[in-house]
Amino acid sequence: MDYLLGGLAGALLGLLAAFFTQGGIVRWKLFVRLSRMKGRWHRQRWMLAAAGAVMGLYLVWVCGGWNRSATGLLLLSGLLLAASVTDLRKRQIHVDCVLFYSCLFLVYHLTAFSLGTMLSALIGALVGAAVLGLPRLLRPQAVGGGDVLLLAACGFISGFPGLLYLMFRGMLAMAVFGVVQLIRKKVQVKSSLPLAPFLLFGALI
């Protein structure tokens, strides 16, 4: 039963990721228009739904059942899945997606009825915002505003020091990938890499 719930919840978050990558709340009319079109848009939706279902099954297995930890990780993964698609495709993080998931994260924390959990979440959000927000103040062209909001949202759901573990795994994966691509001469030293996919990897391992 736990695996069924995890797979269904993951598939739903995958479809939600498709919604945000194909229009979202701000451009919902675009999503409606694309829904009437056959071809790659439909394929992308089903692919994201399948990816979400696999994530749900995997997280239920990792967490030992459908519990609060699995729910939190699945919400985080849902946000990062949606952000990864737009980050890979356009180097963009949609603000409406981050804000929507932040509201879900707030509900998740409120249902814990724990002041300590909420304080940890707020500290995580502040640390996440500061880690990329300060470099953005110094060099606005080097860090995108969407990345700042995304990391703050990740800190809100992960809490502190959970965010640090997430960042360490994600940044380590990014560094390894960057070195491999440099050796293969696929990128240059000054080339930028999308942040969201590596954070998603960090959340799943």
Chunked into runs of 10 residues, the chain (205 residues) has average pLDDT values of 92 92 82 76 87 95 93 95 92 92 95 92 95 86 85 95 94 90 76 88 91
Paired tokens of 164 = 């640090």
DSSP letter (8 states) at residue 202: H
Tell the residue number behind the tokens 């879900």, with chain if given.
Answer: 104
112: which DSSP letter?
T
Give pLDDT, residue 82.
Answer: 94
Q: What is the dihedral of CA 20, 24, 25, 31, to 10 degrees?
A: -140
Diameter of the chain measured on Cα atoms: 51
Residues 148 and 129 sit within 8 Å (Cβ to Cβ): yes
pTM more than 0.95:
no
Q: Give Cβ neighbours of residue 14 (< 8 Å, ≥ 6 apart).
A: 48, 49, 50, 51, 52, 53, 55, 78, 81
Question: What is the spatial distance between Cα 39 and Cα 66, in angstroms, rounded to a whole number?
Answer: 35
Q: What is the pLDDT of residue 38?
A: 76
Cβ contact 131:167 at 8 Å: yes
pLDDT at 189: 66
Q: C-alpha angle 33/45/2, rounded to 5°?
A: 135
